[in-house]
Amino acid sequence: MRNTTTRGILQRLSEGIVQGAEGYVFELERRGYIKAGPYVPEVVLDFPEAVKELHREFLRAGSEVMVALTYYAHREKLKDVGRENDLERMNRQAVRLANEIAREGDALVAGNICNTWAYDPGNAGETSRLVRAMYEEQLTWAVEEGIDFVISETNDYLGEALIALEVIKQFGLPAMVTLASVQSNATRDGYDYVGKNPLYSKLLRCRPAGAIQNHCAQSYLRVPAYTCWRACLPARTRTILIQPL
């Protein structure tokens, strides 16, 4: 069932800061519901009440965004744990759980896609097609179940982030694109976070991206002053603040 909020992400951003919360996978692993290593959100099907409880805790703490727990719920990862046949059911259930709790507090629901470990810039043609197909099937199910915008997160290749952004645009939804800055100065495919190589301008040319963010792999990274929204996710708290830049 779709969420019933009347104020979308773009309207809320026009009015000020939007606060959300992340860290679902690590928190549920800490509580014993997700296996460290693969970090596949099997909990969505196996222990749905645990997922709803964490959503509710975030809502009560002030989060305006319930993130559907589909991080690593893509075809490549589910193959690794022998649950590929649960792919559609897991993705749909995650959005339904997020919507159920979002209705308790007029919160938004964010669809969620992430790095796939399938993208290879040395074989960009073939691997881009694989990545695009995984994103398209995940977001098809998410849109059918009802989401307000999409978070594409922990991208360590700009090329993969751009594929995610293009797919999100196909569905006509606002996007929040996040980068996992696991290398100190540049993405794995060689684009500087700041400086001469214009990573952010490449993302912004593919607008409308709702926000650009540095993810929790590093606690702080300066974003150049482009006209867009900036998402800030402190590493220790995993709290998202989306604000005008």
Q: Give residue-wise pLDDT tens across range 149-173.
A: 999 999 989 999 999 999 999 999 9
Enclosing domain of residue 234: 19-244
Q: Is residue 72 pLDDT above 60, yes or no?
A: yes
pLDDT, mean of residues 47-75: 96
CA dihedral (38, 221, 175, 190) positive or negative? negative
Residue 10 in any domain: the answer is: no
In the chain, the number of structural domains is 1
Q: Is residue 12 part of a domain?
A: no
Q: What average pLDDT is seen over the chain?
A: 83
**Residue 59 within a domain:** yes
Does residue 68 sit within a domain?
Answer: yes
Structural domain includes residue 26: yes
* pTM of the complete model: 0.85
Distance, in Å, from the CA atom of 21 to the CA atom of 31, rounded to the nearest integer, reads 17
pLDDT digits (tens, 9 = 90+) for 167-215: 999 999 999 988 887 777 788 888 887 665 555 555 555 544 455 554 5
Reply yes or no on whether the pLDDT at 132 is more than 90: yes
Tell whether 110 is covered by a domain: yes
- Rounded to an integer, the average pLDDT of 10-16 is 89
Task: Name which of 114, 104, 100, 96 is nearest 25 in CA terms.
Answer: 114
The CATH number of the domain where 118 resides is what? 3.20.20.330
Tell me, what amino acid is at 155? N
